[in-house]
């Protein structure tokens, strides 16, 4: 698998995780990006792109945060 296809696969996974509001999938995708970066299959800027689509997304996307807060309220009730 070449570097570009690795980046494209990670982007697809990140977008799917975003649409699913799945914290677990977002963290898994981020972990895959970390491993790919360590293996030098991603450049630093490509890694930052995936970081933005995963960790940054979880911390800044208002719809995602609202969804997570609703889930937490449901669990607490």
- Is 66:74 a contact under the CB 8 Å cutoff? no
Q: Looking at residues 31-48, what average pLDDT do you find?
A: 97
Handedness of CA 60, 66, 67, 70 (dihedral sign): positive
Nearest Cα to 61, choosing from 30, 17, 29? 17
Average pLDDT over the chain, rounded to whole?
A: 92
Task: Please tell me the pTM assigned to this model.
Answer: 0.86
Domain boundaries along the sequence of the chain: 11-76
pLDDT category, 65, cuts 50, 70, 90?
Answer: very high
Nearest Cα to 49, choosing from 7, 2, 77, 13? 7
Q: What is the DSSP code (8-state) at residue 1?
A: -
Look at residue 34 and tell me whether its pLDDT is greater than 60: yes
Q: What is the pLDDT of residue 61?
A: 96
């Amino acid at each position: 698998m070449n570097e570009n296809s690795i980046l494209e696969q990670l982007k697809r996974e990140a977008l799917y995780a975003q649409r699913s509001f799945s914290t677990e999938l977002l963290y898994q995708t981020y972990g895959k990006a970390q491993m790919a970066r360590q293996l030098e299959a991603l450049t630093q800027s490509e890694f930052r792109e995936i970081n933005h689509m995963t960790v940054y997304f979880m911390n800044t996307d208002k719809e995602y945060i609202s969804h997570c807060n609703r889930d937490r309220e449901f669990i607490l009730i």
